[in-house]
Structure 1
Amino acid sequence: MDPVTPGGGRRRRSILRLGIAALAASALTVTGLAGAGTAQAADVNVAKNAGFESGLADWTCSAGSGTAVGSPVHGGASALKATPAGQDNAKCSQTVAVKPNSTYTLSAWVQGSYVYLGASGTGTTDVSTWTPGGSGWTQLSTSFTTGASTTSVTVYTHGWYGQSAYHADDISVFGPDGGGGTDPDPTVPTAPAGLAAGPVTSSSVSLSWSPVTGATGYNVYRDGSKVLAVSGTSATVTGLAASSSYGFQVTATNSAGESPKSATVTATTAKDGGTTDPNVPRHALTGYWQNFDNAATVQKLRDVQSQYDIIAVSFADSTATAGEITFNLDPAVGYASTADFKADIAAKKAAGKSVILSVGGERGNVTINSDASATAFADSAYALMREYGFNGIDIDLEHGINSTYLTKALRQLSQKAGSSLVLTMAPQTIDMQSTSTEYFRTALNVKDILTVVNMQYYNSGSMLGCDGKVYSQGSVDFLTALACIQLEGGLDPSQVGLGVPASTRGAGSGYVDPSVVKNALDCLSRGTDCGSFRPARTYPSLRGAMTWSTNWDATAGNAWSNAVGPHVHGLP
């Protein structure tokens, strides 16, 4: 993608994303004997639902600022996420039962910028502590003493005005039982239900199952042997043999033990180099997902709007070896682990989506100008596909390409990945003005394995249409007359998509209202709603549209995907 404004480019700011934690209050302490043989009760955690395993039960959050989330968590299966907004600091509180004249230790695991933990109504000196944030989980801790007649105290967490969301988990108010008791000890969870096999490759099987109440983790078994331990309700088992059948089971775990095994589900891996992932639909919507924080809404893959059929993860990184690429998950996105990211890819694929890795971007570059670099690209790209479960690759190189060697690289990748490879491109407008350009040559060279070219109809100024006339950026004519060059220049209509920004902040120039995109799609596929340029024929199999980015779309209230998505899917 080639946005030139501060909001539009591949701007990587290492901003702490809120992740979280939680403190498990532990040890029971016996205070000894008081008087003639009467024992004092052991200290307990008097906070209820301390790990938010029951959502926000027992907690109250100001202005609806809090929610229980399944990831990231410090312990168990849930944690608190609270988001300050306007004049609200996202305060979440609980009133706990305490004993008078007693000392309590208050602690929590938190993550985020300017997170506070405190207690009020103590009857003595109210307390609070805070952290300005850091690169990992932080345990906040303080203590208070109750007054002579104090039987309840309010404990709380909050963030700060204008800051991002914070997370908190495993909150402990440890001291004498004030009569309210503590959360009951966990019981062994029941066996998971709903185990199902999703997409498979020649060496992996994706699994998913229903959550189990009280579970803090899950174990995955292959043919009776434990192979994985995960915190979520999905997993991808790798290292399998091609064309082989396996039986899988799952158990749920917590501190009380492990559940019985689930029913067995059987899955067969694909032939070597093959996959059973779904094909891209006849008319598809493509969205680029930002693996960085540049002031657009930060999303995890699971948050990507359902209208998108192809999700291009942006971006791969180059290495010191010419042509070789790698992928580095940005902490700013908020994933607790790479495994969670892979699970999101598997879930999107199970939902019928294609998740691909984009190579390039405004600031990214990969040099493929020799046989060695072509092989390095193909080998590393295929390795990433196998490691993460990507369906394919997007070529978004914006600093010049060599069509001879890029063609060789893509051919080698296709031989490794097989016929299910999803291969897309996102050239700039100048790169597709003529069939003699290196980008256009590459597209034609790999036409038999190419899924779609989503040219970027923005950040370009005026350009020539297929009729030799100059058209201004940001109009129906600009979209249709430039698409005509590709449609009449040798690409199949199913290999042509219209790439536009999702919002005015998504690019330096070239934003068009979704209604303009819909008119251009209708003009090209149906011959209706054209501007002054009218193509000589229609292209009913036109693939669809693309946007930069799903994040900017979310920032604008999903207006782009909500309008353009259904229209693309309704094309003839």
Structure 2
Amino acid sequence: MWSAATALALSVAGLAATPAAAADVNNATNAGFESGLAGWTCSAGSGTAVSSPVHSGSSALKATPAGQDDAQCSQTVAVKPNSTYTLSAWVQGAYTYLGVTGTGTTDVSTWTPDASAWKQLSTSFTTGSSTTSVTVYTHGWYGQPAYYADDVSVYGPDGGGGGDPAPTVPAAPSGLKATGTTSSSVSLAWNTVSGATGYNVYRDGSKVTAVSGTSATVTGLTASTSYSFQVTATNAAGESAKSAAVSATTSPTGGGGGDGGGGTLPKHAVTGYWQNFNNGATVQKLSDVQSAYDIIAVAFADATTTPGAVSFTLDSKGLNGYTVDQFKADIQAKHAAGKKVVISIGGQNGTVSISDSTSAANFANSVYSLMQTYGFDGVDIDLENGINPTYMTQALRSLSAKAGPNLVITMAPQTIDMQSTSAGYFQTALNIKDILTVVNTQYYNSGSMLGCDGKVYSQGTVDFLTALACIQLQGGLSPSQVGLGLPASTSGAGSGYVSPTVVNNALDCLSKGTNCGTFKPSKTYPDLRGAMTWSTNWDATAGNAWSNSVGPHVHAMP
């Protein structure tokens, strides 16, 4: 049953929606559920009208499936024979379907497996020679959480039973205000516009981003600079006039990417990876990430079909319904707390390849787009399948040119990638030393390795961490660009876990010359940046033992 429904849904999901002609009308009644469920019938009493969330107006449908019921809500719609109609609706929730039966030709449907924010479903159908009515429906899936639907439309020739008007160009947004600034970004918010399906944000007259909600963060700005912003509302009928302008001035910079870490990072910083998936570790919202973490690396961006380009999709279902709007708001809250949030590229299964100038440009453009959309402060390079230093350097410099001096660039190479300055990762780090924030080498899952003294050290010891970090410290990186990467628990990696005490001893050895093992560096590095862990989630699973110990220790370093 599931397979048949999925196959049908996928077979029609790609159909292009036919634009409504000028004389067309929406033949659905109570399309926005402003009159409750009038005109609609929901199976097993599964539906109700709710005031939040809504796509527009003051009401929307909420329907809750059960073990033996898919929460189907339907309406009989009057249509004309031999006519083409566009069926669409705005939905939110997992496994949400939209379809039509009784067309007299081919009944169609479309669906989304996961819509954490409002998403428009759309398809088209043609009526038969004697068809005067059809049944349109929405439904979820058995045993799944509730779904929401709003603004259902059946646009086409007037069948005589409709009444909801065709869309008109929305009004200009009101209430635009700046809600926060950093040295490189301005956060904006405005009032909802009735009938709008999206909004465009303009900076000094030029469009810089498009969003579906009523807030946005514009990044890549210059410190201590005044900017003017306006917003427009959009829907199928067109784009509104621009809102009244609001001016905002970015804050002063506190330093550059290489040694300043984006302007607000402390001298010694703790980095933690946050999992955008559920693999058995504690599921966290970004707001749940422990306060000890100064840099939060969101894992991971995904490769696209465009060479070098990446995208990011929040795993709302895996994260217990965490929405995109909540995610964006949580990033801003972390900013307000003085934290940095970067998007991580790669991971164990990452396959992003930057191998020529075109893919380098695609990488820079796509990462910058994610920074504008979500408010990320920069990028983390965690590619474990090789790196081309020539073109990755090109990509990161291009990104830096777009994002400005406060771009945060972090890296998480494997131990073998930092054994020699001739390795691609090490070369890349040295190539961008002037804009690099920190390299947090993964001192785990590696086995035995050579230290800077030419001796072999086994992972899991203070000597392994200090003798291998010494290679980077002697190889050209600034101490402020060197961090120690360790798993937060035995579950966080296949091998190489050490207790937080061992991490702290290694930090002491490198920065102060105390608590060393048999290896003692020839000099101390008091500017050593700090430590990193995989992951904040595994840390939470282990009772925050890692961040509660390593966090304060890093922040107390000289």
Aligned to 1:236: 216
The code of the aligned residue for 1:294 comes to N
The superposition leaves residues 502-559 of structure 1 with CA deviations (integer Å, 9 ceiling, x where unpaired) of: 1110000000100110111111101111111111110000000000011111111111
Aligned to 1:474: 460
Report the Cα distance in structure 1 between the residues aligned to 2:468 and 2:211, rounded to whole angstroms.
51
Aligned to 1:197: 179
Aligned to 2:475: 489
2:349 alignment partner, one of 341, 360, 363 = 363
Mapping of residues 331-410 of structure 1, within 5 Å: 331=316, 332-410=318-396
Report the Cα distance in structure 2 between the residues aligned to 1:517 and 1:450, rounded to whole angstroms.
23
Mapping of residues 142-291 of structure 1, within 5 Å: 197-200=179-182, 205-206=186-187, 235-236=215-216, 238=218, 243-245=225-227, 267-268=248-249, 278-291=263-276
How many residues in Structure 1 have an aligned counterpart in Structure 2?
396
Q: 1:502 and 1:336, CA in 2 relative to 1: closer, same or farther beyond 3 A?
A: closer
Aligned to 2:94: 135
Asked if the contact 1:74/1:109 (under 8 Å) is kept, the reply is: no
Shift of 1:349: 1.3
The superposition leaves residues 386-441 of structure 1 with CA deviations (integer Å, 9 ceiling, x where unpaired) of: 22111111111110111111111111111111111101110000111111111111
Report the Cα distance in structure 1 between the residues aligned to 2:219 and 2:456, rounded to whole angstroms.
55
Quick check: 1:539 aligned with 2:498?
no
Aligned to 2:534: 548
Aligned to 1:58: none
Aligned to 1:323: 308
Report the Cα distance in structure 2 between the residues aligned to 1:469 and 1:368, rounded to whole angstroms.
34
The code of the aligned residue for 2:180 comes to G
Asked if the contact 1:75/1:169 (under 8 Å) is kept, the reply is: no
Residue segments in structure 2 that go unaligned for 5+ positions in a row:
1-32, 39-48, 56-60, 70-92, 98-143, 149-176, 191-198, 204-208, 232-244
The code of the aligned residue for 2:181 comes to P
Asked if the contact 1:240/1:269 (under 8 Å) is kept, the reply is: no
Asked if the contact 1:287/1:311 (under 8 Å) is kept, the reply is: yes
The code of the aligned residue for 2:249 comes to T
Shift of 1:282: 0.8
Report the Cα distance in structure 1 between the residues aligned to 2:504 and 2:281, rounded to whole angstroms.
24
Asked if the contact 2:442/2:486 (under 8 Å) is kept, the reply is: yes
Mapping of residues 46-195 of structure 1, within 5 Å: 74=53, 135=94
Asked if the contact 1:525/1:542 (under 8 Å) is kept, the reply is: yes
Structure 2 SS opposite 1:381:
helix
Mapping of residues 401-420 of structure 1, within 5 Å: 401-420=387-406
Report the Cα distance in structure 2 between the residues aligned to 1:280 and 1:500, rounded to whole angstroms.
20
Quick check: 1:568 aligned with 2:554?
yes
Aligned to 2:492: 506
Report the Cα distance in structure 2 between the residues aligned to 1:269 and 1:168, rounded to whole angstroms.
42
Aligned to 2:16: none
Report the Cα distance in structure 1 between the residues aligned to 2:313 and 2:283, rounded to whole angstroms.
16
Structure 2 SS opposite 1:315:
strand
Shift of 1:337: 3.6
Q: 1:349 and 1:110, CA in 2 relative to 1: closer, same or farther beyond 3 A?
A: farther
Shift of 1:236: 2.8
Shift of 1:74: 5.0
The superposition leaves residues 360-386 of structure 1 with CA deviations (integer Å, 9 ceiling, x where unpaired) of: 100012111111111111121112112
Report the Cα distance in structure 1 between the residues aligned to 2:530 and 2:399, rounded to whole angstroms.
25
Report the Cα distance in structure 2 between the residues aligned to 1:325 and 1:548, rounded to whole angstroms.
22
Q: 1:169 and 1:375, CA in 2 relative to 1: closer, same or farther beyond 3 A?
A: closer
Report the Cα distance in structure 2 between the residues aligned to 1:478 and 1:387, rounded to whole angstroms.
40
Quick check: 1:435 aligned with 2:415?
no
The code of the aligned residue for 1:517 comes to V
Structure 1 SS opposite 2:491:
coil
1:558 alignment partner, one of 523, 526, 544 = 544
Q: 1:364 and 1:229, CA in 2 relative to 1: closer, same or farther beyond 3 A?
A: closer
Report the Cα distance in structure 2 between the residues aligned to 1:526 and 1:277, rounded to whole angstroms.
26
Q: 1:267 and 1:314, CA in 2 relative to 1: closer, same or farther beyond 3 A?
A: same
Q: What's the TM-score once normalised by structure 1's chain length?
A: 0.59
Report the Cα distance in structure 1 between the residues aligned to 2:340 and 2:267, rounded to whole angstroms.
13
The code of the aligned residue for 2:490 comes to T
**Higher relative contact order structure (alpha carbons within 8 Å, sequence separation ≥ 6):** 1
1:301 alignment partner, one of 272, 280, 286 = 286
Q: 1:296 and 1:113, CA in 2 relative to 1: closer, same or farther beyond 3 A?
A: farther
Asked if the contact 2:217/2:374 (under 8 Å) is kept, the reply is: no
Asked if the contact 2:219/2:372 (under 8 Å) is kept, the reply is: no
Give me the CA root mean square deviation: 4.7
Report the Cα distance in structure 1 between the residues aligned to 2:146 and 2:531, rounded to whole angstroms.
40
The code of the aligned residue for 2:481 comes to Q
Report the Cα distance in structure 2 between the residues aligned to 1:229 and 1:435, rounded to whole angstroms.
43
Determine what percentage of the aligned residue pairs are the same residue: 61
Report the Cα distance in structure 1 between the residues aligned to 2:355 and 2:418, rounded to whole angstroms.
20
Asked if the contact 2:290/2:536 (under 8 Å) is kept, the reply is: yes
The code of the aligned residue for 2:306 comes to T
The code of the aligned residue for 1:317 comes to D
Q: 1:318 and 1:306, CA in 2 relative to 1: closer, same or farther beyond 3 A?
A: same
Structure 2 SS opposite 1:505:
helix
Shift of 1:340: 2.5
Asked if the contact 2:217/2:372 (under 8 Å) is kept, the reply is: no
Report the Cα distance in structure 1 between the residues aligned to 2:405 and 2:220, rounded to whole angstroms.
20
Shift of 1:168: 8.6
The superposition leaves residues 436-466 of structure 1 with CA deviations (integer Å, 9 ceiling, x where unpaired) of: 1111111111111110000000000111111
Shift of 1:498: 0.3
Q: 1:197 and 1:112, CA in 2 relative to 1: closer, same or farther beyond 3 A?
A: farther
Asked if the contact 2:488/2:497 (under 8 Å) is kept, the reply is: yes
Report the Cα distance in structure 1 between the residues aligned to 2:380 and 2:37, rounded to whole angstroms.
56
Report the Cα distance in structure 2 between the residues aligned to 1:278 and 1:444, rounded to whole angstroms.
21
The code of the aligned residue for 1:198 comes to G
Q: Greater CA deviation, 330-339 or 343-352?
A: 330-339
Report the Cα distance in structure 2 between the residues aligned to 1:467 and 1:533, rounded to whole angstroms.
9
Asked if the contact 2:94/2:147 (under 8 Å) is kept, the reply is: no
Report the Cα distance in structure 1 between the residues aligned to 2:524 and 2:221, rounded to whole angstroms.
47
Asked if the contact 1:236/1:346 (under 8 Å) is kept, the reply is: no
Asked if the contact 1:502/1:560 (under 8 Å) is kept, the reply is: yes
The superposition leaves residues 133-191 of structure 1 with CA deviations (integer Å, 9 ceiling, x where unpaired) of: x92589xxxxxxxxxxxxxxxxxxxxxxxxxxx98999xxxxxxxxxxxxxxxxxxxxx
Structure 2 SS opposite 1:135:
strand
Q: 1:355 and 1:423, CA in 2 relative to 1: closer, same or farther beyond 3 A?
A: same
Report the Cα distance in structure 2 between the residues aligned to 1:367 and 1:75, rounded to whole angstroms.
41
The code of the aligned residue for 1:475 comes to T
